[in-house]
Structure 1
Amino acid sequence: MKRKTLALALASTLGHPAAWAEEQTLPEMIVSLPRSAVVTNNPSPSAEVTQDQMREMNVINVEDSLKYSPSIFIRKRYVGDRNGIVASRTAGSLQSAWSLVYADGLLLSNLLGNSYNFPPRWNIVGSEEIENIQVLYGPFSALLPGNSAGATILINTRKPQQFEAHARVQGWSQDYKHYATDDTYRGHQEQLALGARVNGSLSWSFLFNHLDTHSQPINFATAAIPAANNGAGTPVTGGVPYTSPTNVPSMMFGATSLDHSVQDTMKIRLAYDFTPDTRAALTYAYWQNDSFSDTRTYLRDAAGQPIWSGSVNIDNKNYTVSTSALAPSDSNTQNQLLGLSLDSRLSPDWSVELSASDYSTPRDITRTPTTAVAGGLGQPGSAGGAGTITFGDESGWKTLDARAIWKPGQGRKNHTVTFGYHYDRYTYSSAKYAASSWTDDSSIGASPVSTTMGDTRTDAVFAQDAWKLDPRLTLTLGWRTERWQAFNGFISGYAPIASRDDTYHSPKASLTWRAAGDWLIRGSVARAYRMPTVTELFQTEKIGVVTQISDPNLNPEKILATDLTAEHALEGGNLRLSLFDQHTDNFLTSQLNLTTNVNRVQNIGRTRITGAEAAYEAVDVLVPGLDINGSLTYTDSEILSDPGNPALVGKKVPRIPDWRASVFASYRFDEHWTGSLGLLYSGLQFGNLDNSDTNHNDTGSLSKYTTADVKLGYRFSKLIRASFGIDNLTNESYFIGPHPFPKRTYQAELRVDY
């Protein structure tokens, strides 16, 4: 913990862990903290999560490690959720393309789209192998694309120096009672991480993870209550009346998306030190997921038999429950990542960093029934029958980054110049087929009923100079030029789509002043462009009950971001205060109309997001053994213009809460016992562009919420530790969109560290 205290003080003094790890001659114990190869001399506000902190949290999936980071919200709806996208102080909870996630310099962000369907591939990393996680806020580094406008998350895994082994077994249980659902959902996970160094030069690490979990309902089948009485339809009971987010009286027929997911991850990483200054690493990771999304009907006829579809009558009101409303689905995916990295210090003045990655999906299949059992007396698809099968096997992305870092020699060491080249290519392909048997891939027709596909490519060059004007004043100037292309676009049933080729320029500037009294003051300003993703351009198709409408003529988001940050080193800790502002022209949003189930992507003019953030972290607060970190963020957002719909001017930007707060405290009682408490708060936010969703307490809404998590751990020896934790201790009921988040969940784990 003394090492951590010193690191915090140095980070506060110099602005960011990357800066002091690169520019200062430090004691050996500090150098052990890894520096990300993605960003050097980053002029952004930052936060960090260490492995020691992670072990005091209730961490099952990797993204759980970030739940108390300032202004960060991960849309994780249940254990094993594949759609855990990142929201931040300037990015809403559906803007997945406004964040970047890297692991050891390899991109995990799925920038094929900008919605819940395109989350980072967290599964490629195991929590047991992580050394630390750094979070950078805003697009202030020229080394990063405009997708960093929200947050950039840098995961650094351990570099083994000798043989080590880490094993963990976990189990959890959630009693979920809401609407007409009253059930218990459980799961378990086993993880093994091994590593060693061989003959001083070669090191290897291996990860295996197996997860088997069941979720609570993630959605519900609903309809608005008709205005007039109508005696038509089969009389049924069990429907649940509720009020929609826009205050429309509505009826609920059943629960959907009860996910049973089985996931397996295997990864091997080989690293070789050619010399003390030159190192290469090869990473191969494989992740597969088998998921069955089940449904439950609430409706019963006069004989007590369940009703799944058809014309029904509830309280003398007639409803039509479609076949798809309570239909299950089945999906199977296989994902693999191949990555290569190289870094070398060529001389005291020069070093280079190279990284390349290829993320592919050898298998991506989703199956859904389209036929109902006669009379609505059986679950759609339960007796087999016709359906649709969708293949997305050819989707993926490739990246390449080459960077050189130049620190001029004697007499000119006040410059650190970084320049380089970036390449990425994203390929999307989706083909939906009609099938005579929805569970049999061989029963599909000869031709797809719908096809969408397309590619985007970016070639970028960048340069950044961190110039020490004097020992206390550093000016960082950066420039990024990007050539962006969109091509191979195809949507079945539409005319051929023309290719696009555009170039954009993004200047950056930051001034850092190390003031007296251990204060650091930094002002940053940046232009950035967030390019439309391939699915925002080309994915027009029906996905389940939702019709997705894209637009191949979308403009990129043009972002102007500013930040003023003050950091102060305190005894045992660090305080950061930030003011931020972000204006976005051609703001891209995907607005779902719940009445028509049409999801349309569009540019809406200009938005503004302005706010303030305070973050504090310290060890041994008041008493030895008590560590605390906390944050408070206030955000004011506004739609400034929308030529297509002037009535939206003055409305709040969707999915940006006015307040966010987090507190995490851990305490070491003695050499055996530890305990922790975490608190999270999220304030008022809206999901609709017109802010018409004023009911925040039912499905479809965006709720205010306050949750508490606790954990108690016992160390039997240096090797073995057991713990018990509870998430959502107070059993808070809250929604993010249509999705109810977990109720009180009990967790237990046993871990061995060698």
Structure 2
Amino acid sequence: MPLHPFHGRALARAIACAIASASLGAHAEDDPQRATTLREVRVSAASHDTSVDPDLPSVVETVSAARLDRLNVVNVEDALKYLPSFGIRKRFIGDENATFSVRGTSNQQSARGLVYLDGLLLSNLLGNNWANPPRWSMAFPENLARVDVIYGAYSALYPGNAIGATVLMTTRMPDRLEVTGEVQAFTQHVHDYGVDRDYGGSRQSATIGDRSGRFAFLIGVSHLRSNGQPLVYATQALSSATGGPRPVTGAIADTGANGLPRQVVGINAEGQEATDQDEAHARLTYDITPDVTAGLTVGYWSQDMSHRTETFLRDANGQPVYAGPVTIDGRRYTLPANYFAPSTRQSRNYLYGASLGTHRDTGWNVEGNVSYFDMDRNRDRVASSVSYNGAGLLTAGDGSRWRTLDLRASHTPDSIAPDTHTVSFGYHYDGYRLANASYNLDAWRRGGAGMLTAANGGSTQTQALYLQDAWQLVDGWRLTVGARYEQWRAFDGSRATATAGVRYAERKETHTSPKASLAWTVSDTVLLRLSAARAYRFPTVNELFQGSFNGIALVNNDPRLKPENDLSRELSAEWYRPNGVARFTVYRSDTRDTLFSQTDTTVFPNVTNVQNVGLVRTRGAEASYDARDVIWPGFDLTANAAYTQATTVRNRRNPASEGKQFYRIPRWRANLVATWRATGRMALTLAGRYSGRQYNTLDHSDIHPDTFGGASDFLTFDARVTWKASDHVDLGAGVDNLTDRRYYVYYPYPSRTYLVEAKFHL
């Protein structure tokens, strides 16, 4: 049975008590693998690794490879699900649209987060919504050395897209021959809206790596097959028309998120997604000298997905009904011809990257990274009606791409003494190209493209120069200041239909983003840090140029959108123990001209498109604790709780949203992960995740949260046991959503899911 809603304040108090009791009980001996430093930021970095700058003036959370082994991880984004203030929009295993929410950034603002793999950008900044997620699948969970998450845009080293958070994933490189193979299987049972069946899948992966002198390589391949639970249900608002032809049965009476009665008549639109994904990843490094390393990365990800639909309706003869006029409980409805139309999606993507850099502990370091991400094939095929291979529509994004170049130099003094400086400066370039077109199809499943119906595209480019100086003022006091100068332009924007077209003029903007942070090492165990930063997040190609045509009239896009203008402040206190660290942070962010898709209710007819929201203000606080050998040896505990008040302060185009909590940002989030290393070969983990009430509308008109289309609060538990059966075999079994909590974030999220896995390694 699902649990009753659990109030956020109560959970926060419970976790606070857990943190306090764990702090009092933490007296175990030091663990050399978790050594910490009070130099600005807590980072357990491996030697010769420069993926995280040691002078970052902001909060950093780290997830190690050892911790990942003790969690239920199938896709790499699973590594983030227990971090403070984080929420992962992962609707099922293998969901390609897994965006994240953090602090005052919602999961519909994907361009306000950055994801890197070994310095190569995986963030899809062509757009800013659920359809533009990071390309997580270019990384293998089993190949990661660690994942570091940087909160906010407080460092001049990263662009304004870091307003939410920056995720840095680092690939481990082998020291000797390694051969691994892993098999995972998972299943869930869904009993919801007339559906009563099992959904699941499997993942298989294999890697090989070795080091020979200066040369090292790591190559991996994997295949994922997953049948997710139904995501979208076909609903009809309760009709006021009575009587009519063709009485049908099978509809389910329900209440919608808006509090109004409705009929649920089947599964449509995205429906139930069945996906096959193939991945390949190769990373090669060569130590030119003991201090200079070159790297090469190649990634491949392809997907073949089917959106399966189903009608619940049956006529008097028991035959399924898909379209046309029907009568349900004496009320008349008309179902469109394409209401239950199936669809497919095919994707093929390539990542190419190269790096060259030094990794000295002191003195000068220089590094460069160049990357190219190619969306070689990106095609959606949608039927016009319920048919196996009748007419339909093809939407193709083939050729959309992005490329980046980063050059950085830094100097670190031999010792951190008063009046010494650690300086970093560099150059950044990125270019994005979007090319979308849709065509009529005579045969929707396999036919060639017919007449063009619509097209849109364009490019954006950003160049940046930055400088950051970490100045040790006196013993215990460190001032980090920096600035980032960015020049942005949008060009080659266009939209067209079969009969009309328009091109957009080139735009250019330049902005400078200052940063400052003051850290005080109060004692050997306490660090205080106050940071402030300005950041600009420029509009994406999709936001500027993707809209729609109504006849020959252009609607639904605005090429004059302003960049988001964010001013953030953060005050953190960190307490270090020999076996762990505790942190408390308060933060505030004022974001002007927030870019968000909304309806302009001040004009008639209403217009829905991406608009600038006047001001969104975020205030919040986080508490976290992370330690090993708490209470007794072998017991590890991670606990965190966060309160976020993100308020729409000014929004002249939608006044009803003013004073309301912003879209899909809960007031309370909390996580608790407890691991007992029972023996040297066995570990047991129990984890809990809580999210408070969210809203799927800016004006909070979705008043009924616990239904399809609503946004529930939820408390779920996950469990896992790992057993090292031999020196070459690791076994694991786990359960996600242990109590089978039924909850929604617009879509229904997974039911209780069982996972088993076996890993073989030489």
TM-score w.r.t. length of structure 1 = 0.93
Show CA shifts across 1:208-245 (max 9, x none). Answer: 1111110110111112112x232124211111122221
Who is 1:202 aligned against? 215
| 1:355-376 CA-partner distances (Å, limit 9, x unpaired) | 01000011111101113xxxxx
Which residue in 2 is equivalent to 1:458? 462
* 2:420 corresponding residue in structure 1: 414
Name the counterpart of 2:20: none
Query: Mapping of 1:507-586 within 5 angstroms?
Result: 507-516=514-523, 518-541=525-548, 549-586=556-593
Confirm or deny: 8 A CA contact 1:475 1:512 kept in the other structure: yes
Distance change (3 Å), C-alpha of 1:354 and 1:40: farther
What's the counterpart of residue 349 of structure 1?
A: 363
Q: Which residue of 1 aligns with 2:136?
A: 122
**CA positional deviation for 1:557:** 0.5
CA drift at 1:17: 4.1
2:227 counterpart (214, 222, 233)? 214
Distance in 2 (CA, whole Å) between partners of 1:347 and 1:196 is 26
Provide, for residues 491-546 of structure 1, a one-character-per-residue CA deviation record: whole Å limited to 9, x for no partner. Answer: 11453211100101100000011002511000000000011111011111499xxx
* Contact 2:418/2:475 (8 A) holds in 1: no
CA distance in 1, matches of 2:741, 2:110: 26
Trace 1:611-690 onto structure 2 (pairs within 5 A): 611-690=620-699
- Structure 1 runs of 4+ with >6 Å offset: 1-4, 409-413
Q: After superposing the two structures, state which structure 1 stretch, 212-221 or 232-241, moved more.
A: 232-241
Aligned partners of 2:237, 2:526: CA distance in 1, in Å? 57
1:604 is the counterpart of 2:613: yes
Q: Offset at 1:124?
A: 0.4
Write out aligned runs for 1:145-544 (5 A): 145-198=159-212, 200-226=213-239, 228-256=240-268, 257-344=271-358, 349-371=363-385, 380-382=386-388, 384-407=389-412, 414-442=420-448, 444-445=449-450, 447-492=451-496, 493-516=500-523, 518-541=525-548
Does structure 1 conserve the Cα–Cα contact (< 8 Å) formed by 2:669 and 2:690?
Answer: yes
- Cα distance in structure 2, aligned partners of 1:439 and 1:229: 37
1:170 Cα deviation (Å)? Answer: 0.4
Query: Which residue in 2 is equivalent to 1:701?
Result: 710
- Is this contact kept in 2: 1:9–1:569, CA < 8 A? no
Q: CA offset at residue 38 of structure 1?
A: 6.0
Query: Does 2:727 correspond to 1:692?
Result: no
Quick one: distance in 2 between partners of 1:6 and 1:189?
Answer: 34
Specify the code of the residue in structure 2 equivalent to 1:740.
Answer: P
Contact kept? 1:8, 1:574, Cα under 8 Å? no
**In structure 2, do the counterparts of structure 1 residues 498 and 568 end up closer, same or farther at CA, with 3 Å as the change threshold?**
same
One-letter amino acid of the structure 2 residue matched with residue 650 of structure 1: G
1:48 aligns with 2:33: no
Q: Are residues 5 and 522 of structure 1, via their aligned partners in 2, closer, same or farther at CA, if it must alter by over 3 Å?
A: farther
**Residues 136, 660 of structure 1: CA spacing in aligned structure 2 closer, same or farther, 3 A cutoff?**
same
Q: Deviations over 1:417-450 (max 9, x none)?
A: 10011000011111100011101242x22x4100
User: 1:346 deviation in Å?
Assistant: 8.3
Over the aligned positions, Cα root-mean-square deviation in angstroms equals: 2.3
Of the candidates 575, 590, 595, which is equivalent to residue 597 of structure 2? 590
Q: Hey, what's the Cα distance between the residues in 2 that align with 1:386 and 1:74?
A: 37
Map 1:73-88 → 2, pairs under 5 A: 73-88=87-102
Amino acid at match of 1:236: V
Distance 1:359 1:211, change over 3 A: same
Q: Kindly provide the amino acid, as one letter, of the partner of residue 717 in structure 2.
A: A
Would you say 1:752 and 2:757 are equivalent positions? no
State how 1:90-129 maps to structure 2 within 5 Å.
Answer: 90-129=104-143
Q: 1:147 & 1:129 partners in 2: Cα distance? A: 26
Question: How far 1:175 moved relative to its partner?
Answer: 0.5
Equivalent AA in structure 1 for residue 458 of structure 2 = G
**Equivalent position of 2:5 in the other structure:** none
TM-score by length of 2: 0.92
Structure 1 residues 15, 407: closer, same or farther in 2, change over 3 A? closer
- Alpha-carbon distance in 2 for matches of 1:3, 1:275: 38
Other-structure match for 1:376: none
Letter in structure 2 aligned against 1:613: E
Q: Give the 3-state SS of the residue equivalent to 2:726 in structure 1.
A: coil
The residue number in structure 1 matching 2:722 is: 713
TM-superposed CA distance for 1:724, in Å, is 1.2
CA distance in 1, matches of 2:464, 2:31: 39
- Seen in structure 2, the aligned counterparts of structure 1 residues 119 and 694 have a Cα distance that, compared at 3 Å, is same
The match for 1:59 among 70, 73, 77 is 73
2: CA distance between counterparts of 1:233 and 1:717? 68
Give 1:645 deviation, angstroms: 3.2
2:483 maps to a residue whose letter is: W
AA aligned to 1:147 is: N
Q: Name the amino acid aligned to 2:631.
A: L
Tell which deviates more after alignment, 555-564 or 399-408.
399-408
CA contact (8 A) 2:39 2:55 kept: no
Q: Secondary structure at the match of 1:119?
A: coil
Alignment CA distance shift 1:625-1:592 (3 Å): farther
Deviation of 1:599 after TM superposition, in Å, equals 5.3
Q: Which whole-Å CA distance do the structure 2 matches of 1:98 and 1:84 have between them?
A: 14
Identity value in percent? 39
Q: Does 130-139 or 717-726 show the bigger shift? A: 717-726
Q: 2:665 is paired with a residue of what secondary structure?
A: coil
Call closer, same or farther: CA 1:348–1:49 in 2, change over 3 Å: closer
Please tell me the residue identity of whatever aligns with 1:450. Answer: A
**Aligned residue in 2 for 1:10:** 36
Residue 144 of structure 1 aligns with an amino acid whose one-letter code is: Y
Partners of 1:246 and 1:186 lie apart in 2 by 32
The 8 Å contact of residues 681 and 706 in structure 1, kept in 2 or not, is answered as: yes
**Match of 2:320, SS?**
coil
Whether the 8 Å CA contact 2:418–2:472 is kept in 1: the answer is no
User: Which SS does the other structure have where 1:112 is aligned?
Assistant: coil
Output one character per residue of 1:271-303: Cα deviation in whole Å (capped at 9) or x when no partner: 110000110101011111111110111111111
What's the CA shift for 1:597?
Answer: 12
In the TM superposition, residue 744 of structure 1 has moved relative to its aligned partner by 0.5
Q: Is the 8 A contact 2:40 2:54 kept in 1?
A: no
Letter in 2 for 1:488: D
Equivalent in the alignment of 1:377: none
Q: Distance in 2 between matches of 1:469 and 1:66?
A: 35
Question: 1:673 Cα shift?
Answer: 2.4
Q: Which residue of 1 aligns with 2:22?
A: none
Q: Distance in 2 between matches of 1:173 and 1:323?
A: 34
Superposition deviation, residue 35 in structure 1: 3.7
CA distance in 2 between counterparts of 1:110 and 1:5 reads 39
2:36 alignment partner, SS class = helix
